[in-house]
Amino acid sequence: MTPQQVAAALGGEVSGREVLAPGPGHAPKDRSLSIKLDSSAPDGMLVHSFAGDDPLQCKDYVRERLGLGRWEPKRSGSRDHIGAMNARALLSKSKPAAYVYHREDGQPYLRVNRTASKGFWQEHWTGTEWLKGGPKGPDLPYRLPEILENASAPVLIVEGEKDADNLASLGFVATTNPKGAGNFSPDLVQHFRDRDVYILPDNDEAGAKHAGKVSELLAGVARSIHLVDLPALPVKGDVSDWLAAGNTADDLKEILNQATASPKLSSPARGIRLIPFNEIKLSTGGRDLIKGLIPRSALTVVWGKPKCGKSFWLYDCLMHVALNWEYRGRRVHHGPVVYCAFEGQRGLEGRIEAFRLKHLEAHEGDVPFYLQPVTLDLVKDREALIRVIRDRLGDVPPVVVALDTLNRSLAGSESSDEDMSAYIQASDAIREAFDCSIVIVHHCGHDDSRMRGHSSLFGALDAEIAVTRASDNSIIAEVRHSKDGPEGEQEISALEVVSVGVDDDGDEITSCVVVPADGVASERSQKWPRGLRLVREVITEALVDSGTNHHVGGDGPLVRATTVQAAREHHRKRYVSTGEGDREAAERKAWSRNLKGAREGSLIGAEFHNGQELVWLLD
C-alpha cells in the first residue's frame, strides 16, 4: 500500500512522509489525522490525532476505510502494545492545557489546546465564544501584549507556549509561534522590529532548523539576534526541562548576558560602511532598467488618470525587460520581473494572453515574468512578499517589482505623511532585499496635473512618468522628473484590440496590446522648455504642500494656487549651481529669469491677493 492510496481512501493528501486526512466525525476539510506507513509498527502504520481523538478509535477508523478490518493488538516479546495503546487512550482523555493568544489590544484571538499525548487543536474567538479551527487572520506571537508593554526589554523566543509561560513567570519577556517548530511565519516578523532577540531552541534537529528559520526571517529586522545553547540540556530537552533540573533565572540571565549577537544576522546598520575617498570609483555598469525611461535599483512612479493606459503601457515595458527585447530602440537590463496586480487581476490575465498571441507564438522557453495576483497591505505584508519572491525565484533575484496600484496596497491614507512614509519604507525594503527597481502605478490628483497623495512620495522617488491620453486617443508616457537622467523623454503608443478567447456563454473575450504609434506629441511638453521645467516642478511641489483654491480676480475661474514665496523655497532646495561662484546669487538670478520666462510664455498665472503674490499652472 502506498501513501497515495491511503490518502485517496481517507479523503486526504500526502504531506512529506505522512498522510493528513479528516479524523473520524470531522469535516471533509479537516486535517487532524496523521497516518505514516512504518514497517516497524505493529500493523505497519502509525496513526495520530492532532485533535486528541481516541487513538484506538482512530486506528480502527483508518483500517476500516482501508478495508483491513479492526486491529487486534497482540503482546510481542517484552512490549505490551495493548497496554501502550490503553495508556495513550487515558492520556487523550485527560483535560488538555489551553493557551490563549491575544491581539495587540488584549482581546482573545487564538486558543491552542494541547493534550498530554502531544496532540493539539486550535480554536478562534468570535467575540462571544470559541469555535474550532484557527483564525483566518495573520499569525500573532504568543503573549503579544507583554511584548508591546515592555518595548525596551529583550525578547526570548522558544518553541512552546508552556516554555514561554515558565520564562514569563520568572520575569522574562518570552514568546513563541503557533503550530510548533518550523512554522514561524513572516506574519510574525513585524513584531520584533528593532528588538534584541534571544532564540532558545529545543535540543534536537527540528529545534536547530527552527532556530535557523527564525534567525533568517528576523535578519535585518531585529536589532540583534542571539542563538542560545543552554548548557547540559538533555537530547530533545527544552528550556522548561533545563529549569526543572535546578537552574534559576539568574543562571539564565548570566547566559544571556554572555551570548554574542551574530553579526551576519543582526545589526541596525547592516550594509552601512565607510569608503575612503581614494577608493571611490565610478561605476560604469548600466544605470537604467529601460534606457532613458526607468532607472535601475530605484523608485519610479507611473501615474495618470483612470483608463489612461498606464498599466497597459507598464506591462508592455516590463515584458520587454523579461524577454530581453530592446524597447523601441532603448536597451533594457534583462532579468526576472515580478508584477503585483493589486487590482484588475482578471484584466491583466487578458493582457498577458493578448501579448502571448501577438508576440510569443514562435517563442521557445520560459518567460521570467511572475504575476502576484493577491491584494496586499504592503506595509504589513512586505516581509511575506519578500519571502515568497525568494522562495519562487531562488538565487536569481528580480530586476524589477511592479506595485499596481498604490491605492489598493496602502491600508492608510495617501494624504497622511505617516502612512505614505511607511509605504515608501516598505517599498525600499523590497528594493534593498533584491537590489531591484520598484515601479509604483498611481493615480493623479483632482486637477490632473500631478500625482495625488502626500508630497513625501514625490520627495522619495527617483523618476516620475506621467501617462496621458492625447486627442487622437494615443497613449503618451513622458518622463516628468528624473534625478539622474534626462527629463522630457516620451514614448507614444496605441492600443490594438486582440481576441483572446470565448467565455462560457459563447461570447468573444478581447483585450489589448500596446503598439508603437506616431500620435500627437504632448502639448504640455512642447509648451514647457527644458530650462523652465524646474519652475514647473517647484510650483507643483508647493501646490502639494500648501496649495489653496483661488478664484482668479475674485470671481473668476477656480484654480489651485500657491505663493511665489513657497515655490521659491522649493527652488532653493532643488537648484543645482553649474559654476564655482556664489550659489545663493546664482540661484536668485536663475529663479528670477526662469519665473519671468514662464510668465512670458503663458505657462503660469499670477496675481496679488491679500498682500501675497499667488502663482498657478496654466497647463
Same domain? For 347 and 479 the reply is: yes
Q: Decide which of 87 and 575 is more confident.
A: 575
Amino acid at 277: F
pLDDT tens-digit profile of 326-362?
999 999 999 999 999 998 777 888 999 999 999 998 8
The kind and range of the H/E element at 316 are helix 310-323
Helix/strand/coil (H/E/C) assignment for every residue in 125-154: ECCCCEEECCCCCCCCCCCHHHHHHCCCCC
Gap between the Cα atoms of 208 and 190, Å rounded: 22
Same domain? For 543 and 499 the reply is: no
Same domain? For 228 and 149 the reply is: yes
> What are the Cα distances from residue 230, in Å, to 216, 258, 582?
21, 12, 65
Tell me the H-state helices in 435-563: 455-460, 523-527, 533-546
Same domain? For 551 and 515 the reply is: no
Give the number of other CB atoms < 10 A from CB of residue 502: 10
Give the number of other CB atoms < 10 A from CB of residue 204: 15
Res. 268: pLDDT tops 70: no
Closest CA to 132 of 20, 46, 48, 25: 25
Same domain? For 513 and 536 the reply is: no
Gap between the Cα atoms of 425 and 435, Å rounded: 14
Residues 50-67, mean pLDDT to the nearest whole number: 82
Across-strand partners of 198? 156, 226
> What are the Cα distances from residue 18, in Å, to 21, 81, 115, 320, 488?
10, 22, 21, 44, 61
Verdict on whether the full-model pTM lies above 0.85: no
Gap between the Cα atoms of 200 and 342, Å rounded: 39
The kind and range of the H/E element at 173 are strand 173-175
Q: For the domain that residue 354 is a member of, what is the CATH number?
A: 3.40.50.300
Res. 92: pLDDT tops 60: no
Gap between the Cα atoms of 377 and 410, Å rounded: 6
pLDDT tens-digit profile of 300-330?
999 999 889 999 999 999 999 999 999 999 9
Same domain? For 235 and 303 the reply is: no
In a domain, 542, yes or no: yes
Same domain? For 325 and 413 the reply is: yes
Number of separate domains in the chain: 4
Domain hosting residue 161, numbered range:
138-258
The kind and range of the H/E element at 418 are helix 417-434
Per-residue DSSP letters for 513-533? EEEE---PPPHHHHHS-GGGH
In a domain, 271, yes or no: no
pLDDT tens-digit profile of 538-573?
898 888 888 888 888 777 778 889 999 999 999 988
Gap between the Cα atoms of 476 and 490, Å rounded: 7
Q: Place 77 in a pLDDT band, splitting at 50, 70 and 90.
A: very low
Per DSSP, the three-state class of 484 is: coil
In a domain, 281, yes or no: no
Res. 76: pLDDT tops 60: no
Same domain? For 306 and 251 the reply is: no
79 class by beta-carbon count within 10 Å (0-12 exposed, 13-18 middle, 19+ buried):
exposed
In a domain, 120, yes or no: no
In a domain, 314, yes or no: yes
Gap between the Cα atoms of 184 and 198, Å rounded: 15
217 class by beta-carbon count within 10 Å (0-12 exposed, 13-18 middle, 19+ buried):
buried
In a domain, 263, yes or no: no
Question: How confident is the model at residue 71, as a pLDDT?
Answer: 64
